[in-house]
Structure 1
Amino acid sequence: MIDLENEFPPLNDFTYLNTASSGLIPKSVIAWRHQHDEDFLLNASLFRDDHKILIEQIRQSVSDYFKASMDDIALIPNFTFGFNTLLDGFDPKMEFLMLKGDYPSLNWPVERREFKHRYVPIDQNLEQNIRQAFEQKRPDVFAFSLIQYISGICLSFDFLADLKQAYPSTLFVADCTQFLGTEPLDFKASPLDVVIGSCYKWMLSGYGNGLLFVKDTAKAKLYPKVIGFNSTEYKSFEREDAPFNRLFEPGHHDTLNHGSVAEAIAFVNSLGAENCFNALNAIKKNAMEAFVNRGLIDDFIATREEHSSIFNLKLSSADYYNLREAGVISSLRGDGVRVSFHFYNSTRDLDRLLQLLDAR
C-alpha cells in the first residue's frame, strides 16, 4: 500500500484542506518530470523526435480514464484558454444561460463578447431556477460550472440528464475544473456536450495543463477560428485537413505538462481509482455531518441530495488567519473560509480542523 504522506510531503507539514485552490502533486509525477527534463537536457532535439507518439499516448490515457473518444479530446493549457477559444467558434447570435456568481473565467468571456445571455441565481432553488429559465426561453448554450468554486454546490448528472432529454438542442458546456478527478466520468454517456477543465486541482497534475472534450453535437455548431501548423501536421500539412480537436492545439505541445496528466492518472490507477473516490466520499460525508452539527454551513446545502467535497464555512477572515497560523491551509472565498477534502485527506485532518474551531 502506498504511503500517502510520503507521496505528498505537504501532508507531513500542514493540515492541507486547499485542493480546490491547488492540488498536491505526487512524488511519482515529480520523478517522471525530472526524468523528462533530464532526457531533454541530454538529447536536445532528438528528445522531440518521438514527442507525437507521447502526445497520442497521453490522449489515450485520458480517453480510457474519462471514456471519451480520442477524436473528441484536445490537450489545452488551462480552462480559460480552452473556453475563450471555444467561444470564438460560436455563432455570435447564440444565446447563453449561465449561473450568477459562477467562476469569472466562465461568465466574463461571454459578457465581453456581447453574446445575449441571462443569469439564474444560485440558491436553495437552483434546479428549479434553471428549469424555469429553460421554460421561459430555451437557450442555445447552457454554460455552467459543474461544481461551484465558492460554495461547492454541484449539479447532479441525473438532473442534467433529465434537462438534456427535455431540451436536446441546447448545448451543455461545463467547466469541470472542480470536478475532474473527484468521481468517475463517462463522457460519452454523460449529458454534457462540452467538458473543459484545468488539471492542477483534483487531477494532481501541476500547472499548465487542461482538457477539452467536445461531442459531435457541439462540433456541428462550432467553427473554431484558431489554427496553427501543429493542427495539421499529423495529416497532410494542409489547413483544410486539420482535425477538429487539433484546432485547439495550434502550437507545439508541452510534453512535460501534458505528460504530467497521464502520469497522475497512472498514479491514481495504481491506488485504484474507485478506492480514491470512495475515500473522498467518506471524508466528505463526515465533514458535512460535522459542519451541519456546528452550524458552519448554510442549512439548505445540508438538505441537497448531492454536494461536493468543497465547503464554505461561516468563519471570519480572522478565523482564516488563525487557522493558517496553526498550519491549516484553506482559502478566503466569498463571505467565508473555504475548505476542501481530497482522497489524501484523513479523518485526522478533519479532526484537527474541528479541534481548532471548537476551541475558539
Structure 2
Amino acid sequence: MSTLIPKRDFIGIEDVTHLATGGESPVLATNVAAVTRFLMDKGIGMPGRDRMYATADRARNSLAHLLNGTADEIALLWNATAGLHAVATGIVWRAGDNVVVGASEFPSLLHVWQGIGVEVRRVGSTPCPTTDEIAAAVDSRTRAIVVSHVSYLTGARSDLALLREIADRSCARLVVDASHALGVVPVDGSLCDVVVSCCYKWLLGTHGVGVLFVNSKRWPDLEPKAIGWNSVIPNEDWRRRDWFDLKASIEKFEAGNPSYISIYYLENALKTIASIGISRIEAHVLDLGAELRGGLLRLGVDLLTPKEIGKRAGNICFAIDRSEELESKLRQLRILTWGGDGRLRISVHAYNDQHDVQRVLDALRSLLT
C-alpha cells in the first residue's frame, strides 16, 4: 500500500508522518502556483474577474462529480456552517416541529437550530448513534434529520440510503455534513436534500470556502434569507432598485463575492483528487484503515471506529484521557495526529502508506505502555 499521491508533491511532509487530515490537510506544492495565478488575475481588471468566475465554475463542476449532482446545485459559501444556516433559516417552521440530530455530532450541527424555536432531539446512548435510535426519534413533526456522513469524533460512516428511507417515511429533510467524507469516500448527493462541507480537510483545499449542495429535485423551493447583490437579478438603473427579483439559480445563496483565492486553491486540489479517482482513494484508505485499526486493537485501546468497511472512512479514533498530551508526544516524534474531545484521531489519506501506519503504531506501543 504505497501512496497514491507522492509525499514530495506536498510542502513539508516528507520528513514527518502526517496523519492529521481530519483536522488540517497538508499543502500541495502546486497550490503555490494556483494562488499566484489568482494574484495575477486580480491585478488585470475586468478580464481577471472573468477568470475568477471561470475558476469557480470549474470547481463547481469537480464538486458536482464528487456529489453525483450538477454544478448548478452547488454554491460556494464561506464555510460549511454558512450552509447549515441557510437550511435552518430556509425551513418554514411551525409550532411543534423538531429536528433529529446525534448527541455526539459536531457543535455546528447541534447548535445552528438554537433561537429558531424548534425542538432539537439529541439521540444516541453511545458516541455512535444507531439508525434505530434515529428512526425512533423521528415522527410526523420532524422537519430535518441532520447527520455527518463521517463522524469527526468517532470516524463512523452513516448509511445515507437507510437514512433516506427514514426521512421519507416522515417527509423530513436529510441534511448531511460531508466534511469528513467528501474527497476520501463517495458521497451520493442524490440521496440527500442538502450536503454541506468544509474544504480544508479531505478535499485538500483551504479555509474561506465551503460547499452548499442543494438537491434541485428534492428541495427546489429552498430560498435564502440573507440577500446580497449577487442574490438578485442585476438592475443597472439605480433609480429602480426599490425592488428586486431573486435569482432562480444557486447563486442566490452566494450573497456577495466568495473567497476567490480559496477557490483557486480548491480548484487545483480538486484536479489532483480527480486525477486519482475517488474509488481508488476510498479503497486505499479502507485498506490502510483496516491495518491501523487492527494494530490499535492489538494495543488494547478503546476503539470508537467500527470495523466494517462500509461503516468507516479515513478517520480511525480511540477514546483516551489526556488525548492532547498524547498528540503532543507523537508530534515531538514528528508524527502528526489530532487530539481533543476525549479521543485521539488518526487520519489516513491518499498520501499515506504502510510505513506511516507502522510508524504511528510503533510510537503508540511505546507511549501507551
Matched, 1:353 2:360: yes
- For 1:300 and 1:329, locate their aligned partners in 2 and report how far apart those are by CA, in whole Å: 19
Matched pairs, number: 355
Matched, 1:330 2:337: yes
The secondary structure found in structure 2 opposite 1:12 is coil
Q: Give the CA deviation at 1:348.
A: 0.8
Matched, 1:24 2:29: no
Q: 1:253 to 1:322 in 2, by over 3 A?
A: closer
Which residue of 1 is the match for residue 76 of structure 2? 75
User: Which of 98, 103, 107 is 1:100 aligned to?
Assistant: 103
Matched, 1:209 2:209: yes
Q: Give the CA deviation at 1:156.
A: 1.7
- For 2:254 and 2:298, locate their aligned partners in 1 and report how far apart those are by CA, in whole Å: 48
- For 1:144 and 1:3, locate their aligned partners in 2 and report how far apart those are by CA, in whole Å: 30
- For 2:27 and 2:244, locate their aligned partners in 1 and report how far apart those are by CA, in whole Å: 38
Matched, 1:154 2:157: yes
Instruction: Confirm or deny: 8 A CA contact 2:18 2:337 kept in the other structure.
Output: yes
- For 2:63 and 2:331, locate their aligned partners in 1 and report how far apart those are by CA, in whole Å: 35
Instruction: Confirm or deny: 8 A CA contact 1:150 1:333 kept in the other structure.
Output: no
The secondary structure found in structure 1 opposite 2:258 is coil
Deviates more, 1:46-55 or 1:245-254: 46-55
Q: 1:259 to 1:122 in 2, by over 3 A?
A: farther
The secondary structure found in structure 1 opposite 2:27 is coil
Q: Give the CA deviation at 1:320.
A: 2.4
Q: Deviations over 1:273-294 (max 9, x none)?
A: 4332222221112112212222
Matched, 1:342 2:352: no
Letter in 2 for 1:179: A
The correspondence of residues 1-360 of structure 1 with structure 2, limited to 5 A, is: 4-41=6-43, 43-93=44-94, 94-121=97-124, 123=126, 126-134=130-138, 139-167=142-170, 169-188=171-190, 191-216=191-216, 219-220=219-220, 222-233=222-233, 239-298=244-303, 301-302=306-307, 306-317=311-322, 318-360=325-367
Q: Which runs of 5+ in 2 are unaligned?
A: 238-242
Q: Give the CA deviation at 1:171.
A: 0.4
Q: Deviations over 1:208-261 (max 9, x none)?
A: 111111123553563421121112357999832412511210102332212322
Q: Deviations over 1:47-84 (max 9, x none)?
A: 22443333333322322332212331111111012211
Letter in 2 for 1:24: P
Instruction: Confirm or deny: 8 A CA contact 2:209 2:262 kept in the other structure.
Output: yes
TM-score for both structures, normalised by structure 2 = 0.87
Deviates more, 1:102-111 or 1:31-40: 31-40
Instruction: Confirm or deny: 8 A CA contact 2:28 2:204 kept in the other structure.
Output: yes
Q: Which runs of 5+ in 1 are unaligned?
A: none
Q: 1:219 to 1:300 in 2, by over 3 A?
A: closer
Instruction: Confirm or deny: 8 A CA contact 1:235 1:242 kept in the other structure.
Output: no
- For 1:107 and 1:207, locate their aligned partners in 2 and report how far apart those are by CA, in whole Å: 22
Question: Which ranges of 4 or more aligned residues in structure 1 deviate by more than 4 Å?
Answer: 233-238
- For 1:215 and 1:125, locate their aligned partners in 2 and report how far apart those are by CA, in whole Å: 25
Instruction: Confirm or deny: 8 A CA contact 2:93 2:118 kept in the other structure.
Output: yes
Letter in 2 for 1:343: A
Deviates more, 1:235-244 or 1:345-354: 235-244
Which residue of 1 is the match for residue 240 of structure 2? none
Q: 1:234 to 1:30 in 2, by over 3 A?
A: farther
The secondary structure found in structure 1 opposite 2:195 is strand
Q: Give the CA deviation at 1:140.
A: 1.2
Instruction: Confirm or deny: 8 A CA contact 1:235 1:241 kept in the other structure.
Output: no
- For 1:103 and 1:242, locate their aligned partners in 2 and report how far apart those are by CA, in whole Å: 32
Q: Give the CA deviation at 1:355.
A: 0.7
Letter in 2 for 1:183: V
Q: Deviations over 1:292-317 (max 9, x none)?
A: 22222337833685122212224443
The secondary structure found in structure 2 opposite 1:140 is strand
